[in-house]
Amino acid sequence: MVSLNLNQRKSGENRLQLWISFAAIMLAATTCGQRPGSQSNSPRTLSLWHSYNNDETRVFNEIIADYQKQNPHIKIVAERVPFDGLLPKLTSAAIAHRTPDIARVDIGHIPRLAWGKAIEPLDAFGAEKLTQGMHRIARPVASVLMPGKTASEIFAIPDQLTTVALYYNKDLMAAAGVAVPRTLSELKAIGKKFSARGKSSKALAINSSLWWVMPWLFLHEAQVLSPQLDRCLLSSAEAVATLKFLRDLYTDGVEAGAWLSGAINPDQGFMTGRYAMILSGPWNLQTFGKINFGVSLVPGNGDVKSASNIGGSAMVVFAASREKQESYRLLEYLVSEPVQKKWIQGTGQLSVNTAANRAMAASLSKDLKVFLEQLDYAGARPALPGYDALESIVAPYLYAALDGSLTSREALERACADVEKNLLGPNR
């Protein structure tokens, strides 16, 4: 038997209450803080909050300046907000009825804002057509199934999508005489060969949070929740097989136990040569610059060529905005092909616009092209308002399965029971 961390359980419950409270606050803001519509011939001011880094902000400001030149009747007031401080600031702004017209938010926050009626559904403005020119994963991550509805609605326009792929240390792989694995079977086989060398370095290191386990779940064709968000699917045979596979990697010495409390995390261990392979995203391309590394697709499994998870950010229009149409026009501009080509050129990053990526393919680094391909095999996290609570509830059960305190089946059955009772049940 495993003694689950009660603090983690309470944290999950507290997070659930947090999003419910947040939703209530935002609903009050939208119902009590509505401002009258502006006259069509009046000067229009759009307020926008974002969390871009220094280089991104420089390019973004240039793009905004171009838009204002083309639209002299529009004044855009863009404010940079630290990523970690964005949700608290939005909460305070909602209480004071001072939400911006537009904000750039983590895609994981979209369902919470939508269920709280804080942001505007964008289908009526043409979002369906707009997302057709974006990567195929854009629409799923921007859509939310609202209570009582049978079809999802688009509540955001993604501006940045990211995923994880397999980083590998070329020197460590060469010293072990192994090739980059293309399948999970190859990963397991070379991992055993790698560990048999008796060196201090291990073949693979993983994170054990739900978001980081998702690529492995998707490789086994497992899902977390049902499409209607009313059932937990983590107790399925596919999900159980996933956790058993990861547990076997650890017990066979392939995986380093980087998920254990107090262990060196995958990024740090990769940089110091302790781990030969990790899953990570394009945000670490510069960080790992001193290492002789390569990037490859996450190894496949049978008919599943590869799989990964999805992260990123999106622009939302607040329901209290008096300039919804103008706000949407700005979002259309920001993700258009010409603007996104400028974004690629200025930041060296991938674009959400598929035509822009094709047009600028020659300027993309070899590693970025791998991430672009990896996006084709990425799956979205559940679009649930209480996603943070989901992570907190499931985390101790994943840990218990990996360290052997519970069998994979026992851990995931208990996880699903907990999710059903404390998260999905109250939302029904």
299: amino acid identity, one letter: P
Distance of alpha carbon 161 from alpha carbon 310, whole angstroms: 7
Structural contact between residues 101 and 47, judged by C-beta atoms closer than 8 angstroms? yes
Q: Is residue 53 part of a domain?
A: yes
In this structure, the answer to whether residues 152 and 251 fall within a common structural domain is no
- In the prediction, which pLDDT does 16 show? 46
- In the prediction, which pLDDT does 42 show? 65
In this structure, the answer to whether residues 260 and 153 fall within a common structural domain is no
Q: Is residue 26 part of a domain?
A: no
Dihedrals φ, ψ of 106, to 5°? -65, 140
CA angle (385, 221, 300) in 5-degree steps? 120
In this structure, the answer to whether residues 129 and 144 fall within a common structural domain is yes
Distance of alpha carbon 94 from alpha carbon 352, whole angstroms: 29
- In the prediction, which pLDDT does 20 show? 45
Residue 53: count other Cβ atoms within 10 Å of its Cβ.
Answer: 11
Structural contact between residues 412 and 397, judged by C-beta atoms closer than 8 angstroms? yes
Distance of alpha carbon 342 from alpha carbon 370, whole angstroms: 21
In this structure, the answer to whether residues 125 and 231 fall within a common structural domain is no
Q: Is residue 4 part of a domain?
A: no
Length of the chain: 428
Last residue in a domain, options 320, 338, 367: 367
pTM score of the predicted model: 0.87
Residue at token pair 């926050």: 109
Q: Is residue 148 part of a domain?
A: yes
In this structure, the answer to whether residues 119 and 183 fall within a common structural domain is no
Which CATH number do you get for residue 275? 3.40.190.10
Domain that holds residue 228: 165-309+386-427
CA angle (388, 87, 105) in 5-degree steps? 85
In this structure, the answer to whether residues 242 and 283 fall within a common structural domain is yes
Distance of alpha carbon 366 from alpha carbon 187, whole angstroms: 23
CA angle (387, 392, 398) in 5-degree steps? 110
180: amino acid identity, one letter: V
Residue 421, both tokens: 């009772």
Q: Is residue 22 part of a domain?
A: no
| Listed residue (346, 375, 217) closest to 282, CA to CA | 375
In this structure, the answer to whether residues 207 and 350 fall within a common structural domain is no
- Per the structure, how many domains does the chain have? 2
Q: Is residue 23 part of a domain?
A: no
- In the prediction, which pLDDT does 88 show? 80
- In the prediction, which pLDDT does 83 show? 81
In this structure, the answer to whether residues 40 and 107 fall within a common structural domain is yes
Q: How far is CA 53 from CA 31, 83, 158, in A?
A: 33, 10, 17
Q: Is residue 356 part of a domain?
A: yes
- In the prediction, which pLDDT does 5 show? 42
Q: Is residue 406 part of a domain?
A: yes
Is the alpha carbon torsion for 370, 371, 374, 375 positive or negative? negative
Per-residue pLDDT of the chain (428 residues; tens, 9 = 90+): 334 443 444 444 444 444 444 544 454 444 444 443 444 556 789 999 999 999 999 999 999 999 999 999 999 999 999 888 787 888 788 777 789 999 999 999 999 999 989 999 999 999 999 999 999 999 999 999 998 888 999 999 999 999 999 999 999 999 999 999 999 999 999 988 887 776 778 999 999 999 999 999 999 999 999 988 899 999 999 999 999 999 999 999 999 999 999 999 999 999 999 999 999 999 999 999 999 999 999 999 999 999 999 999 999 999 999 999 999 999 999 999 999 999 999 999 999 999 999 999 999 999 999 999 999 999 999 999 888 999 999 999 999 999 999 999 999 999 999 999 999 987 65
In this structure, the answer to whether residues 293 and 421 fall within a common structural domain is yes
In this structure, the answer to whether residues 304 and 315 fall within a common structural domain is no
Task: Report CA Rg, the chain.
Answer: 23
Q: Which residues are CB-contacts of 79 (< 8 A; sequence separation ≥ 6)?
A: 47, 48, 49, 50, 100
In this structure, the answer to whether residues 348 and 208 fall within a common structural domain is no
In this structure, the answer to whether residues 140 and 41 fall within a common structural domain is yes
Q: How far is CA 186 from CA 194, 203, 276, 301, in A?
A: 12, 12, 15, 10
